[in-house]
Copies of this chain bind each other. A is one copy, B any other.
Amino acid sequence: VRILVVNVNTTELMTAQIAEQARGAASPGTEIVAVTPRFGPASVESILESHLSAVGVLDAVLHAPGPYDAVILAGFGELGREALQELVEVPVVDITDAAAHLACLLGRSFAVVTTVQRTAPAIEDRLTLAGLRARCVAVRAIQMNVLDLEADLDATAAAITAAATQAVLDDGAEVICLGCAGMAGLAERVSAQVGVPVVDGVTAAVALAESLHTLGLRTSKVGFSAPSPDKPIKGWPLAT
């Protein structure tokens, strides 16, 4: 199995970290190919940046050396999954959906712990459109920027633990989803502290991508994800 993991931002270091997480969760026979968009924001923390990112991700997938058996969209709460499903034949797994789906199997309700507050509405919207909003009881922010998560891992873990604890006590969350690909390595640590399962989207997505591949399941092409009609795209950077 060969899985293409696309970081949503242009920070190579983060792509490397995501790849490492993905490899840690992959089955023996699985190859993880992680790519970084050629253009786009260094981190994605607004809806405008998410739009720029989505096109960079599409470009990255078009240029990625194939073949691959599944694509993972490694940005939590970011745009682009539907367009990828239209673009490729193989299954596409968004880490947002992956985390939420597994969280639903582990408890009655889940909360997302994200970076900055302004990303919360976008995450809620993505869950709504994916049909996964029903059991999400809160999206809580730790008020740290994406690119600062690595600066002091102890502080980051502490902040996530604090927000997760609030979600459990005040919002009734039974499971926590880490709301940023950059938090991936902290799931176990936070889970041990808070006493509830903590789902990381990157590793969840690897497991689900492998599952879909094993079961021979691919994106349905009869409706929303049918291939785009062939049509002139003017001056589009993807073409170069």
The chain B residue sitting closest to A116, CB to CB, is B229
**CB neighbours of A10 from chain B (8 A):** 234-235
- Nearest-CB distance from A29 to chain B (Å)? 9
Contact bitstring A211-240, B, C-beta under 8 A = 1, else 0 = 110111111101111101101111111100
A74 at the interface (CB under 8 A from B): no
Q: A39-B236, A228-B46, A234-B39 are in contact. Are A25 and B80 (CB under 8 A)?
A: no
Given A104-B97, A224-B107, A86-B215 contact (CB < 8 Å): no
| Residue contact B121 to A108, C-beta cutoff 8 Å | yes
Q: In the complex, what's the smallest C-beta–C-beta distance from A126 to chain B, in angstroms?
A: 10
Contact of A237 among B106, B135, B237 (CB under 8 A): B237
Contacts of A145 in B (CB 8 A): 229
Q: Could you say which of A174, A203, A234 has the most chain B C-beta atoms within 10 Å of its C-beta? A: A234
Is the beta-carbon distance between A55 and B49 smaller than 8 angstroms?
no
Docked-complex contact B211 and A211, CB < 8 angstroms: yes
Evaluate contact between A105 and B91: CB separation under 8 angstroms. yes
A172 / chain B contacts, CB cutoff of 8 Å: 223
Q: Which residues of B contact A13 (CB under 8 A)?
A: none
Contact of A142 with B by CB under 8 A? no
Report the minimum CB–CB distance from A105 to chain B (whole Å): 6
Contact A218/B106 with A83-B47, A228-B45, A236-B40 known, Cβ cut-off 8 Å: yes
Task: Please report which residues of chain A, range 151-195, place their CB below 8 angstroms from some CB of chain B when the two chains form the complex.
Answer: 168, 172, 174-175, 188, 195
Chain B contacts of A207 at CB under 8 A? 210-211, 214-215
Q: In the complex, A40→B188 CA distance in Å?
A: 39
For A176, the closest partner residue in chain B by CB is B220
* Chain A residues packing against B (C-beta within 8 Å): 10, 25, 27, 37-43, 45-52, 54-55, 58, 79-80, 82-83, 86-87, 91, 93, 97, 101-102, 104-109, 118, 121-122, 125, 128-135, 145, 168, 172, 174-175, 188, 195-197, 199, 203-204, 207-208, 210-212, 214-220, 222-226, 228-229, 231-238
